[in-house]
Structure formats: C-alpha cells, structure tokens
C-alpha cells in the first residue's frame, strides 16, 4: 500500500500520545483506511478498487492527537511489528483481514500467528478488522487465529464496511471513547 512519512519507534522513551497500530497481511486494507481518514479524505469506498501500492517501510500519521502507525504486511516487515507495538503506550492494534480475497486465508493466519508468537496479546488492545465481504463465518476466523476462550485473549471485532461513509471521525471517536 503506501507510505506517508517514515518514523522509527522511540528508543528508551515512549510517546505520550495514544496510538493505533495497523497490522495485517499485504492487501488487507491498512493503508487504504489510513488514506481514507487522512485529512478527512475520501471514504473507503472512494479508494480505487485496483489501488495497490505496497508499503515499503513503516509509516506514521497523527490525527487528532493520536499516532496511527501503518507497519506494512510483507513478510520482511512482520519482524518489526512487536518492536513498534511495544514502544507505544496503550496501543490499539488493528489486525486487518481481507475477507474478499480467498487466496489470503493462509497469509492472514500466518501473519497473526507470527505476531502472537513474538509477544503477549494480552498486553495490547486488539481489534480484528474484517475488510470486504467475508467469505467465512467469524467463528471460523476466530478459531483459525487462535482467538478462542481458553486462550483468554481480549479482543474486539469490527466490519470495516460499517465505516465506508463515516471516515476519520468515526474511527478516532471510537478509539477515544474506548481507550482514552
């Protein structure tokens, strides 16, 4: 997808600003959402369907006092996910799943399991974002990701299509109301 600006996570100090961390496999909608909320940009439905511009390095934008990190989904960038996430105070991790791409099933499962294996998911607020028309029931996706009751991992779920016409204000207001 794309980059807006490049920043590295703070070393030996944490930003006092709340943060959203966008994670997920390539082509799952992370940067599309970032551009949709940037400067009250177009709604997600206005992003061209064939818009594909891979994120080549992590990027960060600030919206209404909230840092929004887009860390990219390529395999080579996944090793950085926990490094960026743990450097943020009270991060809300948005893990994106592209439900309209049947070929991406193994990719989102592998990406999520890699993230879960490196760090403790109980230390972050986790929001699983279903982007596009889901081809699988959510309970199947939950089992694939290991989000089952016996794991005791708190998480939230969101259908991204519900934000299509609401844009930036809805995403940020929901974050502020829940986590600030």
- Return the higher-pLDDT residue of 165 and 153: 153
Distances (CA, A) of 83 to 21, 118, 138: 11, 10, 29
Task: List pLDDT tens digits, range 82-129.
Answer: 988 988 877 889 998 886 666 666 888 999 998 999 888 888 889 888
Q: What integer pLDDT is reported at residue 90 of this predicted model?
A: 78
Range of weakest confidence among 5-9, 24-28, 125-129: 5-9
pLDDT for res 95: 92
Closest residue by Cα to residue 19 from 64, 56, 54, 73: 64
Sign of dihedral through CA atoms 98, 134, 40, 9? negative
With CA atoms as reference, report the closest residue to 35 among 173, 177, 174, 167: 167
State the pLDDT at residue 175.
59
Could you tell me which residues come within 8 angstroms of residue 128 by beta carbon, excluding any fewer than 6 positions away? 95, 97, 141, 145, 147, 155, 156, 157, 158
Exposed, middle or buried by CB within 10 Å (0-12, 13-18, 19+), for 161?
A: middle
- Domains and their CATH numbers in the chain: 24-159 (3.40.50.300)
Pairing of strands 92-98, 19-23: parallel
Closest among 23, 4, 7 to 15, alpha carbons compared: 7
């Amino acid at each position: 997808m794309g980059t807006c600006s490049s920043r590295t996570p703070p070393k030996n100090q944490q930003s006092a600003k709340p943060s959203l961390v966008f994670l997920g496999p390539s082509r799952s909608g992370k940067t599309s959402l970032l551009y949709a909320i940037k400067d009250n940009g177009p709604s997600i439905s206005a992003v061209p369907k064939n818009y594909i511009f891979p994120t080549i390095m992590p990027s960060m934008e600030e919206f209404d006092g909230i840092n929004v990190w887009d860390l990219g989904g390529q395999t080579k960038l996944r090793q950085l996910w926990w490094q960026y996430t743990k450097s943020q105070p009270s991060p809300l991790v948005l893990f994106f799943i592209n439900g309209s791409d049947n070929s991406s099933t193994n990719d989102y499962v592998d990406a999520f399991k890699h993230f879960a294996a490196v760090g403790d998911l109980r230390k972050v607020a986790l929001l699983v974002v279903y982007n596009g028309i889901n081809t699988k029931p959510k309970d199947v996706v939950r089992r694939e990701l290991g989000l089952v009751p016996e794991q005791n991992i708190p998480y939230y779920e969101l259908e991204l299509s519900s934000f299509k016409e609401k844009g930036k204000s809805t995403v940020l207001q929901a974050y502020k109301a829940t986590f600030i």
